[in-house]
Chains A and B, each alone.
Chain A
Amino acid sequence: SQQGEEDPQALSIQEGENATMNCSYKTSINNLQWYRQNSGRGLVHLILIRSNEREKHSGRLRVTLDTSKKSSSLLITASRAADTASYFCAMVSTGGFKTIFGAGTRLFVKA
């Protein structure tokens, strides 16, 4: 199945710094979502942004979407050690219903 691409693959930062992850995709989408996965666990939904939206906020999370460039970014501000996890973008293509995941970014926040 077609995946989105994410960069960086891995990111290591100090607590308090901001973390930015990027996602690019290939097809037209209905919406794009970001999920978090702690090691060996299921995924937790973080935020959804629709194709007609450009930016969305939720607490320390900020998501942007640029449909002309087929890309999205997730910004985590004032990171905490507890933010250490893998983050995945996921998208539902226009007219579809399957959710396809990007490759993921492994974030490590050092205390």
Chain B
Amino acid sequence: GAVVSQHPSWVICKSGTSVKIECRSLDFQATTMFWYRQFPKQSLMLMATSNEGSKATYEQGVEKDKFLINHASLTLSTLTVTSAHPEDSSFYICSARDRRVEKLFFGSGTQLSVL
């Protein structure tokens, strides 16, 4: 089946630094990728939709200057958490839709801890 690779799996950083998370579709082209955020024991909250070659579409309440999304190619989307603070600590998951099978395939997630 389709594979989505997400790196890094976990990252610990100091407050004020920026962190980049990569999401790659390995065996299919993904014109659209989605970024979700998940707090412990809670559901996935959609943050933004990443569109190849154009600006991302952010959900209400998500700061676009805080969470920079770049979708430079059909197989790669990146999420950069800028000037991270402890409240940004969370589990971030990307996904990509394989249109051939109408399914979403998920990366393994990135646990971000900001000290």
Would B6 and A42 count as touching, CB distance under 8 A?
yes
Q: Interface residues of B: mostly helix, strand, loop or mixed?
A: strand
With A1-B59, A97-B32, A98-B34 as contacts: A44 and B106 at CB distance below 8 Å: yes
- Footprint of A on B, CB under 8 Å? 4, 6, 32, 34, 36, 41-46, 49, 59-60, 91, 93, 95, 97, 102-109, 111
With A45-B104, A48-B103 as contacts: A40 and B43 at CB distance below 8 Å: no
The interface bits of chain A over 66-102 (1 if a CB of B lies within 8 angstroms of the residue's CB, else 0) are 0000000000000000000000101000000111111
How many pairs of A and B residues are in contact by the CB < 8 Å rule?
59
Would B43 and A104 count as touching, CB distance under 8 A?
yes
Q: In the complex, what's the smallest C-beta–C-beta distance from B18 to chain A, in angstroms? A: 23
